[in-house]
A and B are shown apart, each in its own frame.
Chain A
Amino acid sequence: MNRAAMNPEQNPVQTKGAISIRNVTKIYDPEGVNVMAVDDCTLEIQPGEVCMVVGPSGCGKTTLLNAIAGFHSVTMGEIYLDGELLCGPSKPKADQGADRVVVFQNGALFPWKTLTDNVAYGPYVQGKLGKAESRQKARHMLAEAGLGDFLEKFPGEVSSGMARRAEIVRALINDPKVLLLDEPYRAMDELTKSIMHEALLEMYDRTRVTLFFITHDLEEAIFLGDRVVVMTTRPCKTKKILNVTIPRPRDYRVLSSDAFRQLVDETNEAVHEEALKAFEAGEREMA
Chain B
Amino acid sequence: MAETETVAADHQRNPTGFQVFVVRLRRNLRTTTPYFAVLGIVLWLVVWWLLCEVLKAPRFEKMPGPVMVLKELLSPEPFLGISIFTEEFYQHVYVSCRRIFFAFCIATGLGVPLGLLMGWSKRFREYTFPILETLRPIPILAWVPLAILMFRGFEGPVIFLATLASLYVTTLNTLLGVDSIDESYFRAAGCLGSKPHHVFLHVVIPGALPFIFTGLQISVGVAWFSLVAAEMVSGDYGLGYLIIDAYMNNVTIPMVIGMVTLGFVGWGTSVIVRVVGSRMMQWRTRALALENR
Touching chains A and B, CB distance < 8 Å: yes
Q: How long is the Cα–Cα vector from A104 to B191 in the complex, in angstroms?
A: 11
| B187 in contact (CB, < 8 A) | yes
- Given contacts A108-B187, A154-B283, A154-B287, whether A121 and B206 have CB atoms under 8 Å apart is no
| B193 in contact (CB, < 8 A) | yes
List, in ascending order, chain B residues with CB within 8 A of A149's CB: 6
- Given contacts A69-B187, A121-B192, A122-B192, whether A108 and B287 have CB atoms under 8 Å apart is no
Contact between chains at B3 and A96 (CB < 8 Å): no
- Given contacts A96-B190, A104-B187, whether A111 and B195 have CB atoms under 8 Å apart is no
- Given contacts A71-B187, A100-B191, A122-B192, whether A111 and B284 have CB atoms under 8 Å apart is yes
Q: How far is the CB of A248 from chain B (nearest CB, A)?
A: 27
Contact between chains at B203 and A110 (CB < 8 Å): yes
Contact between chains at B193 and A122 (CB < 8 Å): yes
| A151 in contact (CB, < 8 A) | yes
| A50 in contact (CB, < 8 A) | no
* Cβ 8 A contact of A157, one of B3, B188, B194, B287: B287
List, in ascending order, chain B residues with CB within 8 A of A154's CB: 282-283, 286-287
Q: How long is the Cα–Cα vector from A156 to B192 in the complex, in angstroms?
A: 21
Q: How long is the Cα–Cα vector from A174 to B182 in the complex, in angstroms?
A: 23
> Could you tell me which residues of chain A, from 167 to 216, have a CB within 8 Å of some CB in chain B?
170, 174
- Given contacts A104-B184, A157-B290, whether A96 and B283 have CB atoms under 8 Å apart is no
Q: How far is the CB of A169 from chain B (nearest CB, A)?
A: 12
Q: How far is the CB of A183 from chain B (nearest CB, A)?
A: 12
| A265 in contact (CB, < 8 A) | no
Q: How long is the Cα–Cα vector from A106 to B184 in the complex, in angstroms?
A: 9
For A108, A122, A154, the residue with the greatest tally of chain B CB atoms inside 10 Å of its CB is A108
Q: How far is the CB of A105 from chain B (nearest CB, A)?
A: 8
List, in ascending order, chain A residues with CB within 8 A of B6's CB: 148-149, 151
Q: How far is the CB of B125 from chain A (nearest CB, A)?
A: 20
List, in ascending order, chain B residues with CB within 8 A of A112's CB: 206-207, 209, 281, 283-284
> Could you tell me which residues of chain A, from 147 to 161, have a CB within 8 Å of some CB in chain B?
148-149, 151-157
Shortest Cβ distance from B291 into A: residue: A156
| A101 in contact (CB, < 8 A) | yes
Contact between chains at A125 and B198 (CB < 8 Å): yes
| A139 in contact (CB, < 8 A) | yes
| B98 in contact (CB, < 8 A) | no
| B10 in contact (CB, < 8 A) | yes
Q: How far is the CB of B252 from chain A (nearest CB, A)?
A: 50
Q: How long is the Cα–Cα vector from A119 to B198 in the complex, in angstroms?
A: 15
The bracket for how many chain B residues form the interface is 20 to 34
List, in ascending order, chain B residues with CB within 8 A of A170's CB: 192
Q: How far is the CB of A201 from chain B (nearest CB, A)?
A: 23
| B185 in contact (CB, < 8 A) | yes
> Could you tell me which residues of chain B, from 244 to 284, have a CB within 8 Å of some CB in chain A?
281-284
Q: How long is the Cα–Cα vector from A157 to B284 in the complex, in angstroms?
A: 10
What is the interface of chain B mostly: helix, strand, loop, or mixed?
helix
Q: How long is the Cα–Cα vector from A126 to B209 in the complex, in angstroms?
A: 25
- Given contacts A110-B202, A125-B194, A154-B282, whether A102 and B188 have CB atoms under 8 Å apart is yes
Q: How long is the Cα–Cα vector from A125 to B207 in the complex, in angstroms?
A: 18
Contact between chains at B202 and A125 (CB < 8 Å): yes
Q: How long is the Cα–Cα vector from A181 to B193 in the complex, in angstroms?
A: 17
| B138 in contact (CB, < 8 A) | no
Shortest Cβ distance from A124 into B: residue: B198
Q: How far is the CB of A190 from chain B (nearest CB, A)?
A: 25
* Cβ 8 A contact of B193, one of A97, A104, A153, A157: A97
Contact between chains at B185 and A108 (CB < 8 Å): yes
| A218 in contact (CB, < 8 A) | no
Contact between chains at A152 and B10 (CB < 8 Å): yes
| B7 in contact (CB, < 8 A) | yes
Q: How long is the Cα–Cα vector from A113 to B207 in the complex, in angstroms?
A: 11
Q: How far is the CB of B163 from chain A (nearest CB, A)?
A: 29
List, in ascending order, chain A residues with CB within 8 A of B191's CB: 69-70, 96, 98, 100-102
List, in ascending order, chain A residues with CB within 8 A of B190's CB: 70-71, 96
Shortest Cβ distance from A105 into B: residue: B184
For B202, B209, B284, the residue with the greatest tally of chain A CB atoms inside 10 Å of its CB is B202
Q: How long is the Cα–Cα vector from A89 to B203 in the complex, in angstroms?
A: 28
Given contacts A102-B191, A110-B203, 18 further A-B contacts (CB under 8 A): A96-B190, A98-B192, A98-B193, A104-B188, A105-B184, A106-B182, A108-B182, A111-B287, A113-B202, A113-B283, A121-B189, A122-B193, A125-B193, A126-B192, A154-B287, A156-B283, A156-B284, A157-B287
A: residues with CB less than 8 A from B are 69-71, 95-98, 100-102, 104-106, 108, 110-114, 121-122, 125-126, 139, 148-149, 151-157, 170, 174
Shortest beta-carbon contacts, A-B, top 9 = A156-B287, A112-B206, A98-B193, A108-B188, A122-B192, A108-B184, A154-B283, A126-B193, A125-B198
B: residues with CB less than 8 A from A are 3, 6-7, 10, 182, 184-185, 187-195, 198, 202-203, 206-207, 209, 281-284, 286-287, 290
Q: 12 A-B pairs, CB-CB below 8 angstroms?
A: A70-B190, A71-B187, A95-B193, A104-B187, A110-B202, A110-B206, A113-B206, A122-B192, A126-B192, A139-B3, A148-B6, A157-B290
